[in-house]
Chains A and B, each alone.
Chain A
Amino acid sequence: MEMEQDNRRILVIDDNVAIHDDFRKILERSLDTSLLQEVRAELFDDVEEQKVVEKFEVDCADQGQMGYRMIQEAMKANRPYAVAFVDMRMPPGWDGVETVEHLWQEDPDLQVVICTAFSDHAWEDVIQRLNKNDKLLILRKPFDNIEVWQLANSLTKRWAESRQAKSQLELLAQWAEERAEETVKAT
């Protein structure tokens, strides 16, 4: 269970590689955790020692198909991604919606953020088509650094919570099944 709590693996799918670097800049950056911070807290009265903020592990794909393969491999290796940021338009391959449909076939627990620079999408259609709107968020480009960081942070937490809830449900179901069998045997 511990491994699941700590899953900070993020997958970015965008046809523009410059955007990969944008995500890396934001998510792979550890927040001011210099060694100096400790000495600073000892020297100055009004400085508190800062907590270490864990950074994320970011992988990138430039087409939906490639992202799909990476999700497959991650599932096989039992190292699932917690969150995927998927661009809406990625010519010439799958668009964002099609990509997300494929990703969820492989990994239904994946939290997804759809990124878009366009306002011409009928979001009702997108959400209806994906029909799982509690695991889907929308991020408009150009995005702010803190927006992306917060999304990644809260969605990785949400991923862990939903996995935990799911495994508890499974335990419960198993227990119920065993009890049912016992009852059958007893009668």
Chain B
Amino acid sequence: MATTTVFPREMEMNAISTKGGESVFHKMRNVLNSVHVSAGLINQQLREFHMDDVGRIADMLEAHEDNVGWYLTQDPKGKKIPHFLGQLSQELRQKHLETLTELTTLNYYLEQMEYVLTAGHAPERAGGFKDTVHFVAVMDEAVMAHQGELDRMGIEVVRDYCVMGEGILEVARLRPIVVSLIRNAINAMREATARAHRLVLHVMPCPDRDGFVRLQVEDTGCGISSDCLTRVFSPQTPEMQSDLLPNLYASALAAKDLGGSLRVWSDGPNQGAMFTLDLPVIHMEDTQ
């Protein structure tokens, strides 16, 4: 794949500094790197799809059209076919899932870039586009974008969805919040090494607020001490993540803009943390 430079060098010079002192340009180049690797991996994965095998088997069967029964049960090669087809289908399904996961990750990187090029940079966005949002789908997409990483880190994912809620929201603003909460959880678990980790996702009707849905992201990571809990959403808190996502402060503001709220709870250092995002819904169906 050809290496491309997206921005002229002048932009590097004039790069806008973020709070962490790191230039947006530097972050952008890093995300571009991940885009490259991701696209390269998808390319590689697709080449490993043994699509020709299906055709080859078809040819072999066709060549023994007159005595397929004998061929599949007696012929030394032919009798391997049924078992092989089963395995092949398993392999294709597995590779398909891997590729789909990587594509979702790629999409997530592109969204990060878009976030910077639009919402992150534009001074004021005139009323964003609102759409019907399936909360569970937003949650699942955000996790899927990180599935590869979660697998590599051996983190178990538990889904506790007791409602398939829908709401009318600016999905372009909701998605980065959820993704950023998941990233935050992964980073917290990366810091607390040497123990097994679990990411628990809850989607449920808000118990204390009518007409609201509650999205929770719970991790078993490094936790937050009680005196830091109040400062998690403060604009002064340095950005923990080096990617282009909104930090927790920006996420809390966005949640408020969407008519909801974002809160955090942790039992203390090394006790994990739970972020709770409450959002208004228009229509909710209980699937139980």
A interface residue numbers (CB < 8 A to B): 15-19, 21-22, 24-26, 28-29, 32, 34-36, 39-40, 42-44, 89, 91-92, 117-119, 140-146
> Once the chains bind, are B242 and A15 in contact (CB under 8 Å)?
yes
Complex contact A91–B21 (CB within 8 A) = yes
In the bound complex, how far is the Cα of B15 from the Cα of A118, in angstroms?
A: 13
Stretch at the interface among B26-34, B197-205, B208-216, B280-288: B26-34
5 interchain pairs, CB-CB under 8 A: A36-B84, A39-B80, A42-B80, A118-B26, A144-B1
Which 5 pairs across A and B sit closest by C-beta, in order of nearness? A117-B29, A145-B40, A142-B33, A142-B36, A22-B37
Q: Judge whether A21 and B148 touch: CB under 8 Å.
A: yes
B34 adjacent to A18 (CB under 8 Å): yes
Q: Which residues of chain B have C-beta atoms less than 8 A from A142's C-beta?
A: 3, 29, 32-33, 35-37
Chain B, Cβ-Cβ closest to A116: B29
Q: Are A36 and B91 in contact (CB under 8 A)?
A: yes
Interface residues of B in 229-244 (CB under 8 A from A): 241-243
**With A42-B80, A43-B77, A144-B1 as contacts: A22 and B87 at CB distance below 8 Å:** no
CA of A16 to CA of B241, assembled, Å: 8
Instruction: Contact check, B33 vs A141: say whether CB atoms are below 8 A apart.
Output: yes
B48-56, B135-143, B247-255: which lies at the interface: B48-56
Q: Is B261 an interface residue (CB 8 A)?
A: no
Which residues of chain A are near B148, meaning CB under 8 Å?
A: 21, 25
Q: Is B22 an interface residue (CB 8 A)?
A: yes
Query: Which residues of B are in contact with A by a Cβ distance under 8 Å?
Result: 1, 3, 9, 12, 20-22, 26-27, 29-38, 40-41, 44, 48, 50, 53, 56, 60, 77, 80-81, 83-84, 87-88, 91, 148-149, 152, 187, 190, 241-243
In the complex, the answer to whether B29 meets A18 with C-beta atoms within 8 Å is: no
Check if B242 sits within 8 Å of A16, measured CB to CB: yes
The closest CB in chain A to the CB of B94 belongs to A34
Q: A32 to B44, alpha carbons, bound, how many Å?
A: 10
> Are A145 and B29 also in contact (CB < 8 A) when A18-B34, A22-B34 are?
no
Residue contact A144 to B80, C-beta cutoff 8 Å: no
CA distance A47 to B247 in the complex (A): 51
In the complex, A118→B1 CA distance in Å? 19
| Cα–Cα, bound, A22→B40 (Å) | 11
A18-B30, A141-B33, A145-B37 are known; give 14 further A-B pairs, CB within 8 A.
A17-B242, A21-B148, A22-B34, A22-B37, A25-B37, A26-B37, A28-B152, A35-B87, A36-B84, A36-B88, A39-B84, A40-B84, A144-B1, A145-B36
